[in-house]
Amino acid sequence: MILALLAFLLLPSSGLAAPCAKPDASSVFQSWSAENKAWQSSGDQICQEGTVESKAAVALAFLRDFPVGPARPDDFDTGHIGDSPFTFFQERIHTIYFDPLSEPQCDSFTVAYVSDAASRSLHICPYANSFSSLVMSSILMHESRHVEGYPHRTCLQGALLGSFSCDDSYAEGGAYGIEQEFLVRTARNEGLGEPVREEAKAEAIAGFLNRFNQAPLGARQGILLLDPAGTLTYFDGATALPLMQNIPPESVVVLRDLPALFEPSTGQVKSFTGGDSLVDTPGPFAAEFRALSAARRAELLDVVYGDISCFLFTQSLHCEQGNESVDLDLPANLQPQQFLRLTDSISQIFFIVGQDGKKYSLPFQLDLNAWKASEIVPSDSVGLAPFRDFTLMPDGRRYALTFDGTLMAYGTSDWAPVPAFAGKKFRHLMAPFLWSGRLGEI
Amino acid sequence: MKARNQLGVGIVGLLALLVVLRAGGNFAPPSPVAHRLGQTVAAFPPRAQGPAPSKDALNREAALRLSSSDLIALTSRALDPAVSGDLRSAAIYLLVHADPALAVPELARLATAPLPEKYTPFSLTFEIGARIRAVAALDQLAATGHPAATAAVAKVAESVKEPSLRFLAQLSWQGILAHQPGRASRYIDQMIARGGAQ
């Protein structure tokens, strides 16, 4: 075992080599202009393993030695960087400073920053040392772009939603775009070792999914609309794309990552996966539905499928979470129609809509065993009286479906019907759903 | 056995991971550690005659020899924000290329590990990228028909909360359900590996 590791460790492969020897370290800066005095003053640190100066030197050497591969321009290699990442960086950054933590702009969460674009000065903070050499290289590329402007934008989707850490699009070639292009080119570069290419690939995907307000491959968070004719349509705010047709009217369609059809007449549960045919939905909740008697299935009105999953029957409610479940007889005064789902990108809250138009809140205690039918009571706090479905999209868009089936969108100050669906009625609205036509072709 | 494995990854393994990122390229690692390890490797039996295997092939070969306890330790390293980024990345590389029968549980552990509560924009994508490598590896193993990997994809797709990881895991799971496994990898390749007209 140990021998295997030892064999592994001596194999040069990554392409990220440390400039451990002084002549090598200085050669990193050989072609650097004389203005780079900051580097010279940090010379001793460059060869000292574990310092941020050493990490930056490795990263810079990686840029310098980046193998020139065949040009493969496409949507994901937009060519902003040119042939040499090192030249791109060098043309934009003339002085590099290593700031101590005591520097006001260099707090414990700042990796690097360009303080003054005119002077083309880059400041690297101690925190940079916690990243891999590849990521450090990509950060150098990122920061160098800021010299030309390209400020960050607020993230409208992804893990950094709401933070000031995105570009609007990859194509515009902002700071994150340059960082991404560099990672893509690293991942594709057959002159580099597999370890660094694999890391670059994953970092690039993480970036594509979280750093841009326009997702790759045309994917966009949209809504799903089920019409009375049984057509399920994806709508991203501009374009409508039919996904499924001829869904039986008695089918209950729910969304949990994928649309799933609960079919009371047959006891089947099927999921849409992007192809032409539906597939059997796996999991215990689907299995439970299949095990229901035909008579019981005939009583089914609606389903929610999430962290808590529930069947709404004509006179009762069955919910489960993990290994726990609860069965409640509905209060006599409640004649249920359906669930009202309030959804956003991470959570789903639901109410029972009565035939009297009232919204009935559920107990929602963590312990399902503590749920009591007496706690299912009309709620005045919903504030969504006209709507049967409502969703808040990750980018702030809001859609709702009225009880007469009209799709509404919230504008700057009020709700209004969505013009693209003027005159159309829908049975159900589900969201958010990240999709594009090209995703379905993969 | 346990003590030996702990030594293997805890000390030698860490050194190994450190040096693999330092060795080669234009800069030789002139450290005493490398010299000592070089002497050890010199004791290896000579290889059969024939074309020299690529460095990547040798790396993979070494990864395949890792034991279950090695992989457990590597996962812990891969998830530890206090460990240097280069070591974490190298640990993930070994996990991805280890014996699938041993690696699948650890890949699932990596993929489903909670993200750190404290993060910065750069560190968050670094953490997500680490987990994406695990999801992609499980997706590829499932595409080869590895049953444990298929079950692991289902678990990951069901349990991860972070939206982009969940999206990739769901793509993988969709592919499995549609009898077209490897969908997450194909999605990734659309952007990275293949390029071409998009």
A182-203: pLDDT as tens digits: 999 999 888 899 999 999 999 9
Q: What contacts B76, CB < 8 A, 6 or more positions away?
A: none
**The pLDDT of residue B51 is above 50:** yes
The whole-angstrom distance between B166's CA and the closest CA on chain A is 9
**The pLDDT of residue A307 is above 80:** no
CA-nearest of B36, B27, B37 to B62 is B37
For residues A44 and A328, the model is more confident at A328
Least confident of A269-278, B120-129, B161-170: A269-278
Quick check: A65 and B59 CB within 8 A? no
**The pLDDT of residue A43 is above 60:** no
pLDDT category at B21 given cuts 50, 70, 90 is very low
Residue B16 touches partner A, C-beta closer than 8 Å: yes
Question: Which residues of chain A neighbour B4 with C-beta distances below 8 Å?
Answer: 1-2
Q: What is the mean pLDDT of residues A339-345?
A: 74
Express each pLDDT in A151-176 by its tens digit. Answer: 999 988 788 888 899 999 888 899 99
Predicted pLDDT of residue A44: 64
The whole-angstrom distance between A307's CA and the closest CA on chain B is 10
Share of chain A above pLDDT 70, in %: 83
Give this complex's ipTM.
0.76
Q: Long-range contacts made by residues B7-11, C-beta under 8 angstroms, separation at least 24?
A: B7/A2, B8/A1, B8/A2, B8/A5, B8/B70, B9/A5, B9/B69, B9/B70, B9/B73, B9/B74, B9/B77, B10/B73
Residue ranges with strand state E in A236-386: 240-244, 252-256, 258-263, 268-271, 279-280, 300-304, 309-313, 316-321, 324-329, 336-343, 348-354, 359-361, 377-378
| Helical (H) or strand (E) element with A148 | none
B27: nearest CB among A13, A24, A205: A24
Predicted pLDDT of residue A29: 55
Express each pLDDT in A93-115 by its tens digit. Answer: 988 888 888 888 888 788 999 98
Amino acid at site A321: Q
Quick check: A6 and B168 CB within 8 A? no
Predicted pLDDT of residue B189: 85
Most confident of A46-55, B142-151, B177-186: B142-151
Residue B121 touches partner A, C-beta closer than 8 Å: yes
Predicted pLDDT of residue B39: 30
Q: Please, are residues B69 and B39 in contact by the beta-carbon 8 Å criterion?
A: no
Closest residue in A to B86 (Cα) is A132
Question: Which residues of chain A neighbour B126 with C-beta distances below 8 Å?
Answer: 131-132, 135, 203, 206
Closest residue in A to B128 (Cα) is A206
The whole-angstrom distance between B163's CA and the closest CA on chain A is 6
Q: Which of B55, B138, B167, B177 to mutate to test the interface with A (most CBs of A within 10 A)?
A: B177
